[in-house]
Structure 1
Amino acid sequence: MVNRTDQIGEAVGSAARIGAGIMAFACGDALGVPWENRPVSEIDAGRLDELPQRPGWPPGATSDDTQQLIMLAENLIATGGDGDPRAFLTALAAARDTIRGIGPTTRRAILRFTETGALHAGDGSSNGAVMRVLPLGWATRPADAERRRALVERMTVTTHGAPAAVAGACAVAAMGSYAVAGYPAERLIAVALAEIERFDLGAAARPVRLAAEGEWRPGPGGVTLDVLDTVAAVLHTIRQAGEPAEAMRRAVLLGGDTDTVAAIVGGILGGRHDTVAIPWAARVELPGDIDALATGLWHIRARPAEAPS
C-alpha cells in the first residue's frame, strides 16, 4: 500500500499551479514595492491593496525580483532544464539598465562578467539570488533533490557566491518544489530548514532556526537584505499559514525588504493552488507570458529525472 505522503512526493503538480505561483510572486512584489525599506511604523496597512505609486515607478510596478525570476525561468526552459550561467549573465547584462531596483551585488557581478567573462561570484550573501530561484523548484519534483541543488548552485553563484546565499536559495527552491506537489506549510518549513542545515553555517543560521520554531522577529528597520534574514522572514510568514493574499500582506507588514519577502511568500503559497484570488492583481504589472512559462517549467518537472549536464 502506498501512503499519501509518497503519493504527494511523486506528484508533478500542474502547469496551473506553477502559473499561479508566478502570478502570486509578481503580485507580492508589487504589493511590497511602495513600502520597500520602510520600518513597520511607516507602512499603512489599510492602503496595501491600493498599491500606492512609488515615486519614479509606474503604477502597479514590479521590481528586479520579478524581472530576474522571469529571466531565470526563460533560461531554464531554453536550455531544456539544464540552466546556462553564461546565457543568464549575458541576458542580465543586456537588461541591466531596464531592471528596476537591481541591487549592488548583482551590479558588481554583471560588471565582473562583462569585464572578465567570469561566471562565478566569489562572495555575496545578500538576497539578490534567492529572490529569483523559485523556477528551479517549480521545475523539479521533491524526489529530484540532487538535481535541484545542482541547478540552484550553478545559477546562484553567477551573482552570489557565499555559502549562505546558496543555502538560502536551496531552501527557497525546495519550498517551491514541495508546494507544487501539494505539501502543507509545516512540511515546507521543515524542508527549508533541512536545506539550510546541510551547509553547516553555525550561528549564522540562527534566524532561520528561530523562524522555524516560531521565535523569529524582524529588527527595528524590518527585514534586511541578508539572505538568511530574508529566508527567516519567509518561514515566519508561511508558518502563520492562511491564504496567499493574506500571507503577502503580513510579509509587507514586517517592513524592510518588503517586495522580496512578499514575492517569495506569494510564489511559494500560490504554487499550492491551481488558481489564486488576489484582490489587487488587476492593478499589477504582470508578466505577459505566464502561461507559456508555466507550461515550459511544468514539462521539465514532469519528465524523468536526469542529472544536469
Structure 2
Amino acid sequence: MPSPADEDGSVVVERVAAALTAYVCGDALGLPYEGKPATGDGDEEIERPRAGDRWAAGETSDDTALTLLAARCLVDAGGEADAVTFLSRLAALDPVKGAGPSTRAAVAHFRRFGEVPDDRAGATNGAPMRALPVGWSTPSTRPELLVARTVELTRATHRSPEALVAACVMAGCASWSVTGPWAAGGSAAALLDVAVETLEVAQRLCGAAPGLAALLGEVVEGGWRPPATGVSLDPGETVAAVLHCVRRADSLRGGLLAAVRLGGDVDTVAALVGGLLGARSSVRQVRVQLPWSARMLLPDEVEVRRLAAALVSVRAAAAGSRRVAGRRLRSGW
C-alpha cells in the first residue's frame, strides 16, 4: 500500500478540515435527490438548494450527524472509541432523522438489552458512510490498526463482513487521501491500489466480502457501471460508486455532480466522494469551488476545524505507537 510518512501537522489538519467540509457539502447537495432515479438535471439545477419531503432546503442528513458523532467519539477516546460508547451516544441522540434500517435496529436492541447485538446483521451502507474519520485519525502506515479501529466503531450498528470490509476500505482511502501524493494531484489509480490493499487486510481480519471484492475489481478494470435503478443501500455498491466517481472526476465540483446524477442513495455517495476529493484542497478552496455551499445549512466552520485538529492529534499519537487496538478483532471476527 502506498504509505508515505505523515507531513507537517498543520498541513494535514487543513486537508482533514477541507475533506470534512466537502463531505457535508456532498451530503447536502445529494439529499434532495436521495432515493430518486438517475437525473438529467443541469448543474445549476442540482446546485440549487431545495426542500424535500422530510428535509429543509440546504439541510444535511443523518450521514453528517453520524459521521460527526463517530469523529467526536474517536477524539474523546484518543482513537480507541468502542462500540458500546458509540451506540450509547447514538441512543441518546435518537431519533436521528433519516437513520437507516441497520442503525435503527441496533439502537432498538441496545435500548432493550443494554448491549451491542452479537450477530452478523447490519449489511447496509451506513458502515462505509461514517468511516472516513477513522482514516483521518489513523496513519496510513498502520493498516491493521486502521482496520481494528474501523471494525470496533462500525460493529455498533453493522456487523456483516461485507459492511465491515466496506467501511475499512473507505477508512483506508481516507487515511491515505490526506497525505502528500493525493493532495499533490496523485492519480486515482494509486487511490484504487490503497482500496484493494485495504480490502485484502480487512478480509483477513473480518472475513470474506466477495460482493465488494468483485465490484472493486470492476472499478479497477474500468468496467463498473451504475445500476439502472440507482445506487442501493448495499455497502459494496456504494463503495464502488464512490470510487468510480472519484476515478472519473476532473474536479471536486464535477465529482459531486456525477455522484448526484447516479440516482438512488446519492447523498451518501456524494458525501464520500466529497470526503476524498476535498482532501486535495483547503477549506477556502472547497468553498470557492462550491459557491452554492454558502446557502447550505452546514456545521460551523470553526467547529469543523477544531474537530479536524483533534483528529490529526490522534493520528500523530498513533504514528508514534506500535500498540494494535481492537479487542473484538483479537477475539475473532
* Length-normalised TM-score, structure 2: 0.86
Question: What is the aligned counterpart of 2:270 among 262, 267, 272?
Answer: 262
- Give deviations 1:148-177, integer Å, cap 9, x for gaps: 110001111110100001110000000100
1:71-116 CA distances to partner (integer Å, 9 max, x unpaired)? Answer: 000001111111122221111111122x221111110001111111
Question: What is the CA–CA distance in structure 2 between the aligned matches of 1:270 and 1:164, rounded to whole Å?
Answer: 26
Note the C-alpha offset of 1:272. Answer: 2.6
| Greater shift in the superposed pair: 272-281 or 55-64 | 272-281
Structure 1's 271 and 134: CA in aligned 2 closer, same or farther, altered over 3 A? same
Name the aligned partner's letter for residue 57 of structure 1.
Answer: W
Provide, for residues 118-160 of structure 1, a one-character-per-residue CA deviation record: whole Å limited to 9, x for no partner: 2245211110121001000001111021111100011111101
Give the letter aligned to residue 310 of structure 2.
G
Whichever residue aligns with residue 294 of structure 1, its letter is A
2:24 counterpart of 1:26: yes
Query: Which residue does the alignment assign to 1:118?
Result: 115
Query: Which of these residues, 249, 256, 278, is aligned with residue 257 of structure 2?
Result: 249
1: CA distance between counterparts of 2:259 and 2:5?
Answer: 28
Deviation string 1:20-67 (CA, Å, 9 cap, x unpaired) is 111100000000000001111475544111122213312211101100
Indicate if the aligned counterparts of 2:162 and 2:211 stay in contact, CA closer than 8 A.
Answer: no
Q: Which region of structure 1 is more displaced relative to structure 2, 112-121 or 261-270? A: 112-121
Hey, what does 1:307 align to over in structure 2?
A: 324
Distance in structure 2 (CA, Å) of the matches to 1:212 and 1:243: 20
- Deviation, structure 1 residue 190: 1.3
Structure 1: gaps of 5 or more residues = none
**Segment of structure 1 superposing worse, 140-149 or 114-123:** 114-123
1:77 to 72, 75, 78: 75
Residue from 293, 301, 308 that aligns with 1:294: 308
In structure 1, the residue matched to 2:155 is 157
Residues 34 and 53 in structure 1, CA contact (< 8 A), matched pair in contact too: yes
Q: Give the match for residue 278 of structure 1.
A: 290
Alpha-carbon distance in structure 2 between the residues aligned to 1:43 and 1:226: 25
For residue 102 of structure 1, give the secondary structure of its aligned residue in structure 2.
Answer: coil
Structure-2 change in CA distance of 1:121 and 1:54 (3 Å)? farther
Equivalent pair of 1:43/1:255 in contact (CA under 8 Å): no
One-letter amino acid of the counterpart of residue 135, structure 2: G
Deviations 1:221-276 (A, max 9, x none): 11110000000001101111322121111111111111000000101111232232
Q: Which amino acid aligns with 1:222?
A: G
Per the TM alignment, residue 204 of structure 1 is displaced from its structure 2 partner at its CA by 5.2
Structure 2 stretches of 5 or more lacking a match? Answer: 327-333
- How many residue pairs were aligned? 303
Mapping of residues 183-262 of structure 1, within 5 Å = 183=182, 184=186, 185-198=188-201, 199=203, 200-203=208-211, 205-262=213-270
Q: Provide the C-alpha distance between the structure 2 equivalents of 1:20 and 1:172, rounded to a whole number of angstroms.
A: 17
CA 1:40 to 1:178, structure 2 compared with 1: closer, same or farther past 3 Å? Answer: same
**Given the alignment, which residue of 128, 131, 144 partners 2:129?**
131
Aligned residue number for residue 144 of structure 2: 146
Could you tell me how far apart the structure 2 residues matched to 1:17 and 1:173 are? 15
CA distance in structure 1 between the partners assigned to 2:45 and 2:229 by the alignment: 20
CA 1:256–1:294 in 2, change beyond 3 Å: closer, same or farther?
same
Mapped partners of 1:239, 1:77: distance in 2 = 31
Residue pair 2:211, 2:236 contacting (<8 A) in 1 also: no
The match for 2:330 is none
SS at match of 2:171: helix
SS at match of 1:40: coil
Change over 3 Å in CA distance of 1:94–1:203 after alignment to 2: closer
